[in-house]
Amino acid sequence: MSIGKVSLIGAGPGEPGLLTLKGRDCLAQADVIVYDYLANPVLLGHGRSDAEQIYVGKNRGCHSLPQDDINQLLAAKARAGLRVARLKGGDPYVFGRGGEEAAFLHEQGIPFEVVPGVTAGFAAAAYAGIPLTHRDVTTSLALLTGHERPERKLSSLDWQTLATGIGTLIFYMGMTNLETICAQLMAHGRPATTPVAVIQWATLPRQKTLTAPLAEIAARVVAAGIEPPAVIIIGEVVGYREELRWYDNLPLFGKRFLITRPREQAQYFVDLLQGQGAETICIPTIEIAPPESWQDLDQALEELNRYQGVILTSANGVSAFFERMRTKNLDLRALAGVEIIAVGPKTAQSIAAYGLKPDLIPADYRAEGVLTALLARGVEGQRFLYPRTEIARDVLRVSLTAAGAQVDAPVVYRTIAPQNKTDMIRHLLAEKELDAICFSSSSTFENFSAMLGAELKHLQGRAAFFSIGPLTSKTIRQHGFKVALEPQSSTLDDLVAAMVDYYTTS
């Protein structure tokens, strides 16, 4: 059996988008992913669904697996012929013990590679608005660990040079020894007024940044309750923060939202919110399931050329329709001469992924908009195929039929409530850990309400309810709850824009 290979990958500081492209590719190819406490678990989504995932994190002295055992694990997996992705927070070679792991692999004759990552100190500075060097202040910096081997206790540091000879100091893992670090620097000549920044959970929406003079920072950190993981930056460059801060000035920074969309559809919404500084928690209240029978759609697919138009009103409907065509060995030629009607731009975008451009997108991105556009030109004697969800409103079929059209409306997918998610939602609401819950359809709210039952009435007011549009809002209000926000147009982009306006003007 041939020996596998170990990739020592820097996961970056926490923000998933800061993973390098090569790191992403190594994860996608790996048979085994061995990951740390500070490696964002979202990154595991880049791995194959069949890849083994092994957590070996260390958190404030609690080691799930000792370093020697981690070394042996990496070697054993590689000897078994597997491709191993060793995912480490920050950069493997900057206080990440990657050098120790690489040395062990070399001794064992195991092939390895190192994929650099964005180290926490550099990322923390950038996201806090602190340039680590500036020609008007300093051109020197040092990276240090404030938590050495227990027997050394910072004794090996040249405090005189650090205090007077280097402009910017970045301490990793120094929170426990912060008071000692400050005292030593001041004792060796660093001015007590030197600005210091402590940045907790850098690059994530929960990031906290505290600045204070060197003489005061330790007490201020205790008072603020800031704990590891955090990076300490000492130097005059910290003074640029107020001018250059950008991340914690984003309009939704520090806000936490529960996303109830199906997991496979949530990423675009999550990206929009995180781009505005928000933290998102994805707990879908609906899951997409196939229909109980494909018979009605299959029959319609056999006679596609008899339809004047196909009406598609959701990304799920688009996916189900075209994938069923593929299953029945039909390609786009089967739709020649058939008008493709999309309810809105996002549905049109889903259709475009299958190589087609919709012939009609109404101005009003609802079923009513489709109906208005079709009735305006006349539908008498025409036949339409309307692939739909099991719980779709009947407005299109009923109104078009009344106007003289024939509408075949096969169910192509169902929405069902997921299991084992209620306790987490209950905890988030009870502890007031959410600013708002975002509902993108009536079914997301109806399932949410069913999951919590009567208890929801007692938890109301713990988080605002945001709705994507009037139909969803109507459902929420019918259950006796208030809708705090609804955009003018029923799109995710407009919903996020409305959320930004809600928090910046309120």
DSSP annotation string for 219-267 = HHHHHHT--SSEEEEESGGGGGHHHH--GGGSTTTT-EEEE-S-HHHHH
Q: In the annotation, is 58 catalytic?
A: yes
Distances (CA, A) of 470 to 474, 489, 491: 6, 9, 12
What local confidence, expressed as pLDDT, does residue 150 receive?
A: 46
Residues 113 and 143 in one domain: no
Positive or negative, the CA dihedral 230, 247, 126, 93 is positive
DSSP-assigned letter for residue 358:
-
**CA–CA distance, 176 with 37 (Å, rounded to integer):** 18
What local confidence, expressed as pLDDT, does residue 60 receive?
A: 54
- At which of 87, 117, 147 does a domain end? 117
Contacts 24+ apart (CB under 8 A), 102-105: 102/8, 104/71, 104/74, 104/75, 105/6, 105/71, 105/74, 105/75, 105/78
Range of the domain at 444: 256-286+417-505
- The active-site residue, picked from 173, 325, 451, 499, is 173
Residues 448 and 501 in one domain: yes
Q: Which residues pair with 55 in a beta bridge?
A: 35
| pLDDT(335) > 70 | yes
Residues 357 and 446 in one domain: no
- Percentage of the residues of the chain whose pLDDT score is greater than 70: 96
Burial, 60: exposed, middle or buried (Cβ in 10 Å; 0-12, 13-18, 19+)?
Answer: exposed
89 by DSSP, 3-state: which? Answer: coil
Residues 487 and 386 in one domain: no
Residues 241 and 263 in one domain: no
**CA–CA distance, 91 with 54 (Å, rounded to integer):** 19
- Percentage of the residues of the chain whose pLDDT score is greater than 90: 77
Residues 133 and 244 in one domain: yes
What local confidence, expressed as pLDDT, does residue 266 receive?
A: 87
Q: What is the CATH number of the domain that holds 89?
A: 3.40.1010.10
Tokens of 389: 């969800």
Distances (CA, A) of 230 to 40, 62, 75, 167: 15, 17, 31, 20
Residues 106 and 177 in one domain: no
What local confidence, expressed as pLDDT, does residue 153 receive?
A: 57
How confident is the model over 414-459, as pLDDT tens digits?
888 776 678 888 888 988 889 999 999 998 999 999 888 888 888 8
Please state the rounded mean pLDDT for residues 312-319: 93
| pLDDT(1) > 70 | no
> Which contiguous run of DSSP H or E holds residue 48?
none
User: Could you tell me if 300 and 377 are in contact, meaning their C-beta atoms sit under 8 angstroms apart?
Assistant: no
User: Could you tell me if 384 and 311 are in contact, meaning their C-beta atoms sit under 8 angstroms apart?
Assistant: yes
Residue 453: CA count within 13 A, CB half-sphere: 2
Residue 131's contacts (CB-CB under 8 Å, 6 or more residues apart) are 125, 237, 240, 244
Tokens of 313: 């009103």
- The active-site residue, picked from 31, 36, 91, 435, is 36
Please state the rounded mean pLDDT for residues 71-98: 96
Residues 346 and 277 in one domain: no
Instruction: Give the residue among 278, 272, 280 at the shortest CA–CA distance from 253.
Output: 278
Q: What is the CATH number of the domain that holds 317?
A: 3.40.50.10090
pLDDT band at 258 (very low <50, low <70, confident <90, very high): very high
Burial, 268: exposed, middle or buried (Cβ in 10 Å; 0-12, 13-18, 19+)?
Answer: middle
Model pTM score: 0.76
Q: 381-417 as b/e, with b when 16 or more CB fall inside 10 Å?
A: ebbbbbbbbeebeeebbebbeeeebbbbbbbbbbbeb
Instruction: Give the residue among 452, 390, 395, 384 at the shortest CA–CA distance from 416.
Output: 390
- At which of 220, 249, 278 does a domain end? 249
| pLDDT(170) > 90 | yes
- At which of 95, 117, 139 does a domain end? 117
Q: In the annotation, is 173 catalytic?
A: yes
User: Could you tell me if 309 and 400 are in contact, meaning their C-beta atoms sit under 8 angstroms apart?
Assistant: no
| pLDDT(262) > 80 | yes
Burial, 86: exposed, middle or buried (Cβ in 10 Å; 0-12, 13-18, 19+)?
Answer: buried
| Ramachandran bin of 450, using left for φ above 0, alpha for ψ from -120 to 50, beta for the remaining angles | alpha
**CA–CA distance, 487 with 498 (Å, rounded to integer):** 6
Residues 301 and 398 in one domain: yes
Please state the rounded mean pLDDT for residues 486-496: 93
**CA–CA distance, 317 with 388 (Å, rounded to integer):** 6
Residues 317 and 355 in one domain: yes
Residues 324 and 422 in one domain: no
| pLDDT(62) > 70 | no
Q: What is the CATH number of the domain that holds 236?
A: 3.30.950.10
195-200 β-sheet, strand order? 141-145, 168-172, 230-234, 195-200, 208-213
| pLDDT(264) > 80 | no
- Tell me whether the omega of the peptide bond preceding residue 229 falls within 30 degrees of 0, making it cis: yes
Distances (CA, A) of 281 to 38, 47, 274, 287, 444: 18, 20, 11, 16, 15
Among the residue ranges 180-184, 189-193, 490-494, 497-501, the one predicted with the least confidence is: 490-494
- The active-site residue, picked from 22, 25, 58, 494, is 58
Residues 171 and 271 in one domain: no
Please state the rounded mean pLDDT for residues 457-475: 91
Question: Looking at the 3D structure of the chain, how many domains does it have?
Answer: 4
pLDDT band at 59 (very low <50, low <70, confident <90, very high): low
Strand residues in 120-207 grouped as ranges (E)? 141-145, 168-172, 195-200
> Which is higher by pLDDT, 64 or 385?
385
Tally Cβ neighbours within 10 Å of residue 280.
Answer: 19
CA 273 distance to own-chain centroid: 9
